[in-house]
Amino acid sequence: MRILNRYIILDYLVIFLTALGLITFVMTVGALVKAVDLMSRGISPLLIATFFFQNVPYILSFSMPVSTLFAALLLFGRLSMDNEISALKACGLSLWRLIAPLIVLSLFFSAICIYINCEIAPAAKYANKKLLRSAGVEEPINLLEEGRFINDFPGLMIYIGRKNGNIVKDVVAYELSNKGGIKRSVRAREGELIPNNADRTLMVNLYDVRMEMPDADDPNDVSKTTYLTADSYPIKLDFNEMLKDKSVIPKRSHMKMVQLIDGIQNIERDFPVLSPEQRRIEKTKLVIEANRRVSVAIGCFTFMLIGIPLGVKSHRKETSIGMVMSLGIVFAYYIFIVIAKALADYPDLHPNLILWLPMLGLQLLGIHLIRRSS
């Protein structure tokens, strides 16, 4: 059995590593394009190389599960096509016994992916963000991201629901007092971003504006709150001041898992001026991000379970067939990620659970198909 296990594992690793290298290279095209753009701006080759290699951990978090599936489909498609599985069954070996070492290997891959997704990838992404900012090549308009409360600016917290080019929708801004209380809240149906890349400022011209100004002496008395409307209202964002602040809070995808958990548990501490419903939405987005990282990593184990019986059933050893099936399965799974993120504004639906539906379904289906193939 040691010889058989060695034969299966070595064959699998050769295909897996080849696929991992190829898929990772293809997925680095975006980083290559950005690196060329940085080169055209006169950035030093050392910074460009640092930027490129710091993209690799994030890419690996996706390419490893895909490569696991692709290698399983291709290996067992070839074994089935060459009747090697039938010969092993004739010798009294079940499919479960044959694939046991690969199941253990997939758990090892999942453990590696969890570490990459929770620690290495977010740290690398955040390092790249700081690298671009320090090099002065990231435009202010790109630093204002949609779907996230940004409290990096002194005396201001701003939220943008949607952004399409220079046009923003569903904007909420809180002007804060020195004590951290709300001095003025501004809500606008839409707005326009006017960047000034020379002095790294961004003018946000808001339209169809509603403002609430609590009483300075008694801010908790709603009856003393002043309500105003305006056709337009400008807000100036100074990114130089933001970058001077060493305590800039990273976006969700830049947080390590410990930071995500801390943010979930202390949402009131990080966003004291938000309403309870807004805090629930922000907390839901953090929970979705944490679940996404773990579920994607568990994909190595899940894709191994479903890839083995599909490879046996396909009776094919062509690389193109394995690639098409892999992309189809992975595409179907990532649709659920998009759905979960789209439902983040509805915490009562528990959108984080949606991320686990395809994984659980594929695992049960894989176990069922393996039992039938045995």
pLDDT in 10s for each residue of the chain, 374 residues: 677 778 889 999 999 999 999 988 888 877 777 667 666 655 667 777 777 788 888 889 889 999 999 899 888 888 878 777 777 777 777 788 888 899 999 999 999 999 999 999 998 888 877 776 665 555 666 667 777 777 777 778 888 888 887 888 888 888 887 666 778 889 998 989 888 766 767 888 999 999 888 877 777 777 778 888 888 889 888 766 665 554 455 778 888 999 899 989 988 887 777 778 888 888 999 999 999 999 999 999 999 999 888 888 766 555 556 567 667 777 888 888 889 988 888 898 899 999 999 899 989 988 988 888 77
CB 138 within 8 A of CB 227: no
Alpha-carbon gap, residue 282 to 149, rounded angstroms: 8
CB 47 within 8 A of CB 281: no
State residue 140's pLDDT score. 62
Alpha-carbon gap, residue 238 to 24, rounded angstroms: 37
CA dihedral 285, 111, 113, 108 (to 10 degrees): -150
State residue 197's pLDDT score. 66
CB 175 within 8 A of CB 212: no
Alpha-carbon gap, residue 179 to 83, rounded angstroms: 75
Alpha-carbon gap, residue 287 to 282, rounded angstroms: 9
Instruction: Name the nearest CA neighbour of 260 among 280, 286, 282, 278.
Output: 286
- Pull the structure tokens for residue 263: 């943010």
State residue 47's pLDDT score. 74
State residue 244's pLDDT score. 58
Instruction: Name the nearest CA neighbour of 137 among 48, 38, 203, 40.
Output: 38
State residue 246's pLDDT score. 47
* 201-213 and 226-238 beta bridge pairing: antiparallel
